[in-house]
Amino acid sequence: MSDTSQISGTTAREIAASIERSVREGGLAPGTALPSVRELSRALGLSPVTIVAALRELRQRGIVLTRERRRTIVNPRPPLPPALAPASLPRGTRDLANGLPDPRLLPRGRAALRSLALPTESYPDEGTLPALVGEARRQFAEAGVAADDICVVSGALDGVERVLGAHLLAGDGVLVEDPGYPAVFDLLRAMGLVPIPVPLDDRGMQPKALASALRSGARALVLTPRGQNPTGAALDAHRAKAIRELLRRAPDLLVIEDDHQGPVSGVRGESVIAARRRWAVVRSVAKSLGPDLRVAFVTCDAETLARVAGRFAFGPGWVSYILQRAVLELLRSSQVRGQLTRATGAYAERREALLAALAEHGISATGRSGFNVWVPVADEGVVAAALLQSGWAVAPGARFRIATLPAVRITTATLLPEEARRFARDLARVLRASPRPRAA
């Protein structure tokens, strides 16, 4: 019989709260099997209906998973804050694990912001600054997306969540890139949605795998057209066309493009949403203008936009006009545009320098765009630990994977070409002492 000592309560809500508390405090570790409904009912002296209701609430919030003909387990990736702060890196360690832009390449827009008016005296007449809409349309047009209507939200992930929430219900399946962005996986599970992994290569989701996944009955698809995290994948025209043709088989599928990096990813934008009934494209400014500018643009079909904008109006109401005006002034500034052009070139040079250095040592890697390079390895934990001893911090791939094989993610945003050669030598030495990765 399973241990029921950490679970208590006399109502479904109290039982759910006790399980959540145990998960948050570490008493129930990720992957732990919970007692059966019958065991909990007997131990707590409650009806099985009450136990089922408690587990349903936890499933809808992504804290537990119930697999067919198996017991309920604690979600291996529970959407709860960790009990412990992340360990700090040893002094002198070169951080290639954070996935962030280079702070030195972010625009210095003091001149553009010096005359910025701060409208703090009253509520705005409109949720979105009209002048910013024009700039946002130009942002979307760069990727071939006609943005008739636009909503401003608080970051790319906020936009993705709001679009999903406009149409999906707990239990619905969502096709996602694998490997992919961990925050998207966590978000889906927190919403009670089911991530369905689709493998990708350096040009995005693999068409054959996507064709198979479309038969799963998924209600939505979330993809990154360029600057994909963690692999650096980016759609080209041929792959975008192939995906568009496949998606015609699922006319009711909600398709969301998370174009969070935009042009700073270093490649031309491609889109797959043409002529779809339900679609959305999200464009953030965090990676180009600065992470603290929590502003993202969402354009989508009319029905989805009405739902997203309407719900936003009854919640936050609007994104701060101070932030909106700051973004507007930065996007209008010729000085900032020049800085972004130089930053885009620098990111591409650094990423390509590492790929070239790795190739000299026969190390396979992907990184067609953006800030990250993905290197398949046999044991990502061993490789990451060995590199840390050599003064390099990289991200083990486990956080980014659902069904794909082990790898490490290397953030190249701050990695200078001369450092890339030294890093490649150190990685080659580590890999020589490690088993070879299995073939995909």
Looking at the chain, the domain(s) classified CATH 3.90.1150.10 span: 94-103+336-432
Model pLDDT, residue 88: 80
Mean pLDDT of the chain: 89
- pLDDT number for residue 435: 66
How confident is the model at residue 85, as a pLDDT?
45
pLDDT of residue 268: 93
Question: How do residues 6-24 score in pLDDT, each as one tens digit?
Answer: 899 999 999 999 998 888 8
Q: What is the 3-state secondary structure (H, E, C) of the chain?
A: CCCCCCCCCCCHHHHHHHHHHHHHHCCCCCCCECCCHHHHHHHHCCCHHHHHHHHHHHHHCCCEEECCCCCEEECCCCCCCCCCCCCCCCCCCEECCCCCCCHHHCCCCHHHHCCCCCCCCCCCCCCCCHHHHHHHHHHHHCCCCCCCCEEEECCHHHHHHHHHHHHCCCCCEEEEEECCCHHHHHHHHHCCCEEEEEEEECCEECHHHHHHHHHHCCCEEEECCCCCCCCCCCCCHHHHHHHHHHHCCCCCCEEEEECCCHHHHCCCCCCCCCCCCCEEEEEECHHHHCCCCCCEEEEECHHHHHHHHHHHHHCCCCCCHHHHHHHHHHHHCHHHHHHHHHHHHHHHHHHHHHHHHHHHCCCCCECCCCCEEEEECCCHHHHHHHHHHCCEECEEHHHHCCCCCCEEEEECCCCCHHHHHHHHHHHHHHHHCCCCCCCC
Best CA proximity match to 162, nearest among 334, 298, 48, 68:
298
Interval 47-72: pLDDT, tens: 999 999 999 888 877 788 776 556 78
pLDDT of residue 375 exceeding 90, the answer is yes
pLDDT, residue 63, reads: 83
For the chain, give the percent of residues with pLDDT over 90. 66
What pTM was computed for the model?
Answer: 0.83
Rg value, the chain, Cα: 23
How many Å from the N-terminal Cα to the C-terminal Cα in the chain? Answer: 40
Which of 8-17, 34-43, 81-90, 210-219 shows the lowest mean pLDDT across its residues? 81-90
Mean pLDDT of 417-428: 96
Mean pLDDT of 79-94: 68
pLDDT of residue 84: 44
pLDDT-derived band of residue 83, with 50, 70 and 90 as boundaries? Answer: very low
- What is the topology classification, in CATH, of domain 110-332? Aspartate Aminotransferase; domain 2 (3.40.640)
- Candidate from 197-206, 234-243, 332-341, 369-378 with smallest mean pLDDT: 332-341
Whether the pLDDT of residue 86 is over 60: the answer is no
Confidence category of residue 121, pLDDT binned at 50, 70, 90: low
C-alpha of 212 from chain center: 23
**Domain 94-103+336-432: assigned CATH number:** 3.90.1150.10
| CATH 1.10.10.10 matches 12-74 | yes
pLDDT digits (tens, 9 = 90+) for 190-229: 888 889 999 999 999 999 999 999 999 999 999 999 999 9
CA distance 320 to 88: 33
- Written as six digits, the tokens of 393 are 């911090």
Q: Looking at the predicted structure, is the pLDDT value of residue 303 above 50?
A: yes
Q: State the Cα–Cα distance between residues 361 and 208, nearest whole angstrom.
A: 31
Contact 360, 278 (CB under 8 A): no
CA–CA distances in Å: residue 289 to residues 211, 281, 295, 297, 331? 37, 19, 10, 14, 9
Q: How confident is the model at residue 388, as a pLDDT?
A: 95
Return residue ranges of the chain for CATH 3.40.640.10: 110-332
Instruction: Provide the percentage of residues in the chain whose pLDDT is more than 70.
Output: 91
- Mean pLDDT over 85-97 rounds to 82
CATH 1.10.10.10 spans which residues of the chain?
Answer: 12-74
Confidence of residue 79 (pLDDT cuts 50, 70, 90): low
For 376-415, what is each residue's pLDDT tens digit? Answer: 999 999 999 999 999 999 999 999 999 999 999 999 999 9
Least confident segment among 117-121, 162-166, 267-271, 295-299: 117-121
Q: Is the pLDDT of residue 31 over 50?
A: yes
